[in-house]
Structure 1
Amino acid sequence: MPFKLTTLIPALAAALLTSCSGVRYYRDYDPAADLAGVASWGWAGEGEDGEARASGLSSLDAERVERAIVAALGAKGVSGPADDADVRVRYGLTRREKVDVDAWSSGIGWYGPGYFPGGNLQYTVTERTVGTLTIDLVEPDGRLVWRGWAVRNLERVDALEPAEREELFTELVDGILEQFPPPATGS
């Protein structure tokens, strides 16, 4: 079968675009906490535990995150939101500007009749906004027992349509809560 450049170029472009918008997921938790035994959850109240329930999100995006949390925890068999719950949920989005500087050489050449060493050093400066969506599970006494978070470039996110924003936040919340509960530790 002959090699077609017209097939390769769109495939490479798609691979580059998706690799730039990758999401990384992380978690941290108290190994002594019985997270496998969590049967119910509720929302952390405003100001409860020293932090707001939601921070860094518009009210529209906060509602999208809450719908995704309700669905993801419900799919795991954890009931809620409930007033008398095993854990309380709070979440937030932080944004930070990141600057990447890449230096590369286009090779070494020679300049002039005396063959003086020459060359060309190129710099590429890229500015981007990185967002971290964090979901915390805290005990009723305010002790943090589980934290999951997703890190993603936020370029072009503000230009998304409402349905696309819903899909994005659902994907992020599902990825974060996929890590809950953590695997049981051996005795």
Structure 2
Amino acid sequence: MKIFKLVPLFAILVLASCSSVRVTTDYDREANFNDFGSFAFFKPGIDKAKISDLDKRRVLRAIDGELSAKGMVKSETPDLLISIFTKESERVDVYNNNFGWGRGAWGWGTGFGWGGNWGNTVSKSTEGTLYIDLIDAKTQELVWQGVGRSSLYRGSNIDKKEEKIKCIVSEILMEYPPNQVK
């Protein structure tokens, strides 16, 4: 019975962690996304992704799950080829802390009051970027690209790592297919 109380808490934590994914997409306006019902992974492109083979498999499983949930099927003769690309960069955030008690030169007497500059806080983190490219198998042209940026999980908990990857892939593919007006 206690497990059911934890499920909503876990869902909130997962959704909160997904909110930190920043997604952008681009697509070919001439492509008819209704024509794409099957997919396969484009091995030459995937082999170039600069992540471990374990993480590649995690990303591909997550993509497979998301596309299958959208009604697409994996095929030997696909409509779309799926490729991925990754980048990693250092993110630096500087926070100005201009508040607190301090000693000033205003007024009469000692000059104590609000104000002062207590310095800056610098926060560094590693940010990963995952590109998911959907290529028309017939024309070999890129028809859709989704990009997700998020801080990377560096711990050794495999469940957390898989959940983070699923979250990033889910947020990116939430934008596919695009809402196109023809």
How far off its partner does 1:76 sit?
A: 0.9
Q: Which residue of 2 aligns with 1:7?
A: none
Q: Which runs of 5+ in 1 are unaligned?
A: 1-13
Tell me whether 1:29 sits opposite 2:22 in the alignment: no
Return the TM-score normalized by structure 1: 0.74
Q: Map Cα deviations across residues 37-72 of structure 1 (whole Å, 9 max, x no partner).
A: 2111111131xxxx4455022111111111111111
Give the number of equivalent residue pairs: 164
Alpha-carbon distance between aligned partners in 1 of 2:18 and 2:57, rounded to the nearest angstrom: 27
How far off its partner does 1:20 sit?
A: 11
Partner of 2:116, secondary structure, is strand
Q: Which residue of 2 aligns with 1:83?
A: 76
Aligned-pair identity in percent equals 32
Which residue among 42, 45, 51 is the counterpart of 1:44?
42
Structure 2 counterpart of 1:86, one-letter code: D
Alpha-carbon distance between aligned partners in 1 of 2:156 and 2:30, rounded to the nearest angstrom: 41
Tell me whether 1:61 sits opposite 2:55 in the alignment: yes
Q: Which residue of 2 aligns with 1:5?
A: none
Distance 1:184-1:104 versus aligned 2 partners, 3 A rule: same
Q: Which runs of 4+ in 1 moved over 3 A?
A: 18-21, 51-54, 111-115
How far off its partner does 1:103 sit?
A: 2.3
How far off its partner does 1:73 sit?
A: 0.8
How far off its partner does 1:28 sit?
A: 1.0
Alpha-carbon distance between aligned partners in 2 of 1:100 and 1:20, rounded to the nearest angstrom: 20
Q: Which residue of 2 aligns with 1:10?
A: none
Alpha-carbon distance between aligned partners in 1 of 2:157 and 2:50, rounded to the nearest angstrom: 19
Which residue among 97, 100, 115 is the counterpart of 1:104?
97
Q: In 2, are the aligned partners of 1:24 and 1:152 still within 8 Å (CA)?
A: yes
Q: Map Cα deviations across residues 105-134 of structure 1 (whole Å, 9 max, x no partner).
A: 22674249796xx83251111111111111
Q: In 2, are the aligned partners of 1:57 and 1:92 still within 8 Å (CA)?
A: no
Return the TM-score normalized by structure 2: 0.76
How far off its partner does 1:181 sit?
A: 0.6
Q: Which runs of 5+ in 2 are unaligned?
A: 1-11
Q: Which residue of 2 aligns with 1:144?
A: 142
**Which 10-residue stretch deviates more, 172-181 or 162-171?**
162-171
Partner of 1:149, secondary structure, is strand
Alpha-carbon distance between aligned partners in 2 of 1:167 and 1:25, rounded to the nearest angstrom: 17
Q: In 1, are the aligned partners of 2:24 and 2:147 still within 8 Å (CA)?
A: yes
Distance 1:55-1:103 versus aligned 2 partners, 3 A rule: same
Say what the alpha-carbon RMSD is for the aligned residues. Answer: 2.9
